[in-house]
Amino acid sequence: MTDPTTQSDLDEYGALPIFRPGPELYVEANPYRRPLGETGKAEFAEPATEAEFLSHRHLIASRILCNVYESEMVLLPEDGVGPVKGDFDQFYGPEVRRLHDAMRPSLERYSFGLLERLEAPPVRTVEELEAYFLGEVEGAGAPPDASGNNPAVDAAARLTGSMRAIVECPEPEDAARLNLIQLALDGLTEASAMAGNLAGFYGPEQSELFKVFTDEFGYGVYRAKHSTLFRGMVSSIGLRTDVHAYWNFYLTSSLAGANYFNYLTKNHRGVFRYMGAVSYLEWLFAQGFADMGTMLRTVFGDRADTRYTDEHAHIDIHHGRMTFENLLLGLARRHGEAVVPELVRGIVETKELLRLGDADFQAQIAWASSLDEHTRLGTKLASSAADDGTATVLKPGDPFSTRVHDGDRLVEVTGGEAEVHAWATDTPHRLGAGETLLVPAGRLYGLRAAAPRAEVAVRPVR
Ligand SMILES: [Fe+2]
Ligand SMILES: [Fe+2]
């Protein structure tokens, strides 16, 4: 049992200037400034259940864990650290390190305990592993003989899951941007988690991973590095390219997914789970990124720079093969039944994170694109809502952060006018006096004053 995170550590952490919200929606040229929002009670002793996966507490835990892992990476603003050198010093400084060390074990248990309790199939031998893996990738729509760009198949008609939800969303551009924002969480630092498993000695499998890594880093050529191609893609659809410019708009599931890979590579007991997870993902990426390219071209036409998705549709056919044959099966052959269950567990846990991530993202774009409807619903429900709630007054320039609620809430503007930011859009939803928005549990949003003074009441739905 790990020591729990104490209330005083959590409060102290949330009060540090780099973690306190500022007035801005988007954090530019400062990868150290990461508004936490309302930190609440330090109750992280028990692992989050699936019902708590999208809770506000898990959002806060996931934001902190992201900071924990990224304080072990080098992050510098493109145009120089000078203007934010004080924040750099604090982010990498001894106070933050001490608090991270104190909170990390219980936050990891809280966040990843859900995955660790999943049941895994009884796969033990190399042959069983091979059959299991191929069955899983086939089931995920990426069979061994798949060609991501078969011209005989109408690519847009074949989209499924989140990619289909985006093209069918009433606001497809905002939905597509929100999707790339979630990817930007680790797309702008692509393969940094992988870098955590390059050091040490573990035979030919280590060299295999290194080959994949050098591709991800464009063989040392900056313009070919995957994260550089990623920047080209996001800027082509009008998004900022600074690391964590959209910190306020990362969904809980996206943070948890990116954190998982850092968790496994910074806690080396997780190395076999990581290798299972990375083999599974690299295999799925070829088809997944071909579909993302199709989605971007469908939504934005020629405006979208799809070199990033095109590159992955191509190279990850190789990375999928390499990691499957030489990393996953290589480790299974060398280390045998002692490690096969953990290789499998990495796949099981990744699948679950993908499932939870898709559900969270699709729920967010469905809600964010129907705020008018949710305002009509909320205003109708307002008369029957419970009286207990919180009332706040917002003024222009107040600190901005985003949050989720653990149950359905009614956000009522009782005076003035407020803007609702449910995704990164140029046209946020406006709520006038007397209007009430229904915010379902787990939906991410932030409020800003759209008048000199906005009075807002937040009440539970009865
Ligand atoms: Fe890549
Ligand atoms: Fe790859």
**Measured CA distances, 134 to 143, 287, 317 (Å):** 7, 15, 14
Question: For position 271, what pLDDT does the model report?
Answer: 98
Check whether residue 148 and residue 89 sit in a common domain.
no
Check whether residue 36 and residue 182 sit in a common domain.
no
Check whether residue 245 and residue 331 sit in a common domain.
yes
Check whether residue 211 and residue 325 sit in a common domain.
yes
Residue 347 lies in a domain: yes
* 300 Cα to the center of ligand 1, angstroms: 22
Residue 326 lies in a domain: yes
Using CA atoms, how far apart are residues 111 and 93, in angstroms rounded to an integer?
25
Using CA atoms, how far apart are residues 256 and 52, in angstroms rounded to an integer?
13
Question: For position 207, what pLDDT does the model report?
Answer: 98
Check whether residue 228 and residue 290 sit in a common domain.
yes
User: Of the residues 353, 368, 383, which one is the last residue of a structural domain?
Assistant: 368
Check whether residue 10 and residue 154 sit in a common domain.
no
Buried b (16+ CB within 10 A) or exposed e, 84-122: beebbebbeeeebeebbebbbbbbbbbbbebbeeeebee
Per-residue confidence in pLDDT tens, the chain, 462 aa:
678 899 999 999 999 999 999 999 999 999 999 999 999 999 999 999 999 999 999 999 999 999 999 999 999 999 999 999 999 999 999 999 999 999 999 999 999 999 999 999 999 999 999 999 999 999 998 877 655 455 556 888 999 999 999 999 999 999 999 999 999 999 999 999 999 999 999 999 999 999 999 999 999 999 999 999 999 999 999 999 999 999 999 999 999 999 999 999 999 999 999 999 999 999 999 999 999 999 999 999 999 999 999 999 999 999 999 999 999 999 999 999 999 999 999 999 999 999 999 999 999 999 999 999 999 999 999 987 777 889 999 999 999 999 999 999 999 999 999 999 999 999 999 999 999 999 999 999 999 999 999 999 999 998
* 324 Cα to the center of ligand 2, angstroms: 12
Residue 446 has φ and ψ, to the nearest 5°, of -140, 155
* 105 Cα to the center of ligand 2, angstroms: 30
* 381 Cα to the center of ligand 2, angstroms: 48
* 319 Cα to the center of ligand 2, angstroms: 5
Picking from 152, 230, 146, the residue whose alpha carbon sits closest to that of residue 188 is 230
User: What's the whole-model pTM score?
Assistant: 0.97
Report the amino acid identity of residue 353. L
Picking from 236, 249, 239, 193, the residue whose alpha carbon sits closest to that of residue 216 is 193
| Each residue's pLDDT tens digit, 407-438 | 999 999 999 999 999 999 999 999 999 999 99
CA angle 375, 363, 397 (to 5 degrees): 55
User: Of the residues 53, 85, 116, which one is the last residue of a structural domain?
Assistant: 116
* 75 Cα to the center of ligand 2, angstroms: 22
Residue 29 has φ and ψ, to the nearest 5°, of 55, 35
Check whether residue 346 and residue 433 sit in a common domain.
no
Residue 121 lies in a domain: no
Residue 106 lies in a domain: yes
* 284 Cα to the center of ligand 1, angstroms: 12
Question: For position 142, what pLDDT does the model report?
Answer: 87
Which tokens is 85 given? 């050198």
User: Of the residues 81, 116, 151, which one is the last residue of a structural domain?
Assistant: 116
* 74 Cα to the center of ligand 1, angstroms: 19
* 178 Cα to the center of ligand 2, angstroms: 22
Using CA atoms, how far apart are residues 399 and 442, in angstroms rounded to an integer?
22
* 383 Cα to the center of ligand 1, angstroms: 51
Number of domains in the chain: 3
Check whether residue 183 and residue 296 sit in a common domain.
yes
* 312 Cα to the center of ligand 2, angstroms: 6
* 392 Cα to the center of ligand 1, angstroms: 44
Check whether residue 381 and residue 359 sit in a common domain.
no
> CATH number, domain at 216?
1.20.910.10
* 4 Cα to the center of ligand 1, angstroms: 36
* 315 Cα to the center of ligand 1, angstroms: 8
Give me the sheet containing 417-421, strands edge to edge.
Answer: 429-432, 417-421, 446-449
Question: Which residue shows structure tokens 């900056």?
Answer: 222
Question: For position 145, what pLDDT does the model report?
Answer: 64
Check whether residue 106 and residue 143 sit in a common domain.
no
Check whether residue 254 and residue 349 sit in a common domain.
yes
> CATH number, domain at 437?
2.60.120.10
Q: What is the dihedral of CA 149, 150, 153, 155, to 10 degrees?
A: 0
Measured from the alpha carbon of residue 315, the closest ligand is 2
Check whether residue 60 and residue 139 sit in a common domain.
no
* 226 Cα to the center of ligand 1, angstroms: 5
* 190 Cα to the center of ligand 1, angstroms: 7
Measured from the alpha carbon of residue 279, the closest ligand is 2
* 394 Cα to the center of ligand 2, angstroms: 45
* 66 Cα to the center of ligand 2, angstroms: 22
* 223 Cα to the center of ligand 2, angstroms: 16
* 314 Cα to the center of ligand 2, angstroms: 9
* 10 Cα to the center of ligand 1, angstroms: 35
Question: For position 215, what pLDDT does the model report?
Answer: 96
* 321 Cα to the center of ligand 2, angstroms: 10
Question: Residue 212 sits in which domain range?
Answer: 126-368
* 308 Cα to the center of ligand 2, angstroms: 11
* 76 Cα to the center of ligand 1, angstroms: 21
